[in-house]
Amino acid sequence: MARIVVKFGGTSMANIERIRNSARHVKREIEAGNEVAVVVSAMSGKTNELVGWVNEASPLHDAREYDAIVASGEQVTAGLMAIVLSEMGIQSRSYSGWQVPIYTDDSHGAARITDIDPTELNERMSNGWVPVITGFQGISTKNNRVTTLGRGGSDTSAVAVAAAVGADRCDIYTDVDGVYTTDPRIVPKAQRMTKISFEEMLEMASLGAKVLMIRSVEMAMAHKVRLTVRSSFDDPDAPQIAPDGTPGVPGTLVCDEEEIMEKQIVSGVTLAKAEAKITLRAVKDSPGVAAAIFGTLADKGIIVDMIVQNISDDGATTDITFTVPDSEYDKAVKALENNGGRFEYARLSGSKGGAKVSVVGVGMRSHAGVASSMFKALADKGINIQLITTSEIKTSVLIDEEYAELAVRALHTYYGLDKKDA
């Protein structure tokens, strides 16, 4: 017997038929003798509709009322799921965040979970009940009001509930059947991974693989909650086979590095397009200058990604290059040009339309030569590298957007990630 928290995303809850199909996955786990708690998203599109209504009522609204309104989508699906499960003969009831309770801080619209009292959930589950909990919401201990966790937050709710009830696993049911080595729309030979470590998943998520909300992966890593990403569109009654062909969960397991026997040097290749590059030439090489430059951008809420500063040639000045999203380029240039005397530079140049291509893998820590082999693979295709950044388990390059897909395909093949039979 295992204790499992299952989470259904918006497409898995989109209508009554989809809810019934999702409920059959729960039924299968219950019949296999497991204890199950369910966390649900709102029906797909619902939260957008609610946000739209709030903004139509008043663009400048009270964030506490925003939360009261947008949290309602999950209340509907939690109730519906409980009804459908009951109809299938499974004892079930719904819980809103405050009823669990899931406590948060009072950052309305982007609240953080501070604590979950598992007493009620534990009792229900050990008596064979299936509690169905609203994702995305909680209650603030500061003002006693409903809060929401930020868009996509129900993944985080599910992981937090799993940690609180000491679940063996948290199954995230979505509309894709797992995490892939790269975007299958770019590389048809992309493979579904059997396992990926939390750290790799974090890198992949922040580099653009949109399967899981980043915060949920951070939380899973901190509390060592094993996650699986799987599709609710699979036949609920089909035999449960893991991607490697052995009996198990038919999705990708996101787990601690320790659980992964064979550590890949490169496990995945990611792509982020629409990256703009900005260079400041002859910036004074003295303490506080970088802080002033990036402080100016931070004050405008501009998120900077790759940052490269070279050592000074003349001992007096240096060049700094960094990237921002294309959509922030004009705003960034304006902020730098009108910096109110916070810093000086000789020239500003830049361009939009870059692509950041990255290779990710925990095996990189113990293997030399990943960067050089990556550069070689790109050179073989005649692709010029504009910027390079690295972390312990990732190497990223900025290239011209025109070559983005070619680069991803070349690296995917180079690191042996292509599906054998495709």
Residues that bind ligand ASP (CB under 6 A): 10, 41-42, 47, 73, 135-136, 151-154
285: closest CA among 254, 255, 264, 316? 316
Task: State the minimum distance, in angstroms, from the CB of residue 154 to Mg ion.
Answer: 6
Q: Shortest approach of Mg ion to residue 13 CB, angstroms? A: 10
Please identify, using beta-carbon distances, which residue of 74 and 305 lies nearer to ligand ASP.
Answer: 74
Centre a 10 Å sphere on the Cβ of residue 78 and count the other Cβ atoms it contains.
29
Residue found by looking up tokens 């569109």 in the block: 233
> Among residues 170 and 360, whose Cβ is nearest to ligand ASP?
170
- Are the beta carbons of 376 and 226 closer than 8 angstroms? no
For ligand ASP, the closer CB: 54 or 335: 54
Provide the minimum distance between the beta carbon of 9 and Mg ion in the complex, in angstroms, as a whole number. 5
**Token pair 């940690």: residue:** 163
Q: Quick one: CA dihedral 303, 309, 315, 316, positive or negative?
A: negative
- Measured from the CB atom, is 138 or 152 closer to Mg ion? 152
Between residues 152 and 325, which has the closer beta carbon with respect to Mg ion? 152
CA-only gyration radius of the chain, Å:
24
| In the complex, minimum distance from the CB of residue 10 to ligand ASP, in angstroms, rounded to a whole number | 5
**Residue 236, burial from CB neighbour count under 10 angstroms (0-12, 13-18, 19+):** middle
42 binds, among ligand ASP, Mg ion, none (CB under 5 to 8 A by kind): ligand ASP
Binding site for Mg ion (CB under 5 A): 9, 152
Q: Which is nearer to Mg ion, 40 or 411 (CB)?
A: 40
Min CB(64)–Mg ion separation in Å = 23
Write down the least CB distance from residue 71 to ligand ASP, Å. 9
Answer for the pair 91, 80: CB distance below 8 angstroms, yes or no: no
Q: Closest approach of Cβ 55 to ligand ASP, in Å? A: 15
Nearest CB to Mg ion, comparing residues 42 and 249: 42
| Closer CB to ligand ASP, 153 or 354, in the complex | 153
Angle, helices 329-337 vs 289-299, to 10°: value is: 130
> In Å, how far are 77, 243, 337, 353 from 14, measured between CA atoms?
9, 26, 48, 36
Nearest to 272 by CA among 416, 387, 362: 387
DSSP state of 63: H
CB-closest chain residue to Mg ion: 9
Phi and psi angles of residue 352, each rounded to the nearest 5 degrees, phi first: -90, 180
CB of 111 to Mg ion, least distance (A): 16
**Among ligand ASP, Mg ion, none, what does residue 73 contact (CB within 5–8 Å per kind)?**
ligand ASP
Listing DSSP states for 178-241 in one string gives S-BSS-TTT-TT--B-SEEEHHHHHHHHHTT-TTS-HHHHHHHHHHT--EEEEETTS-TTS--B
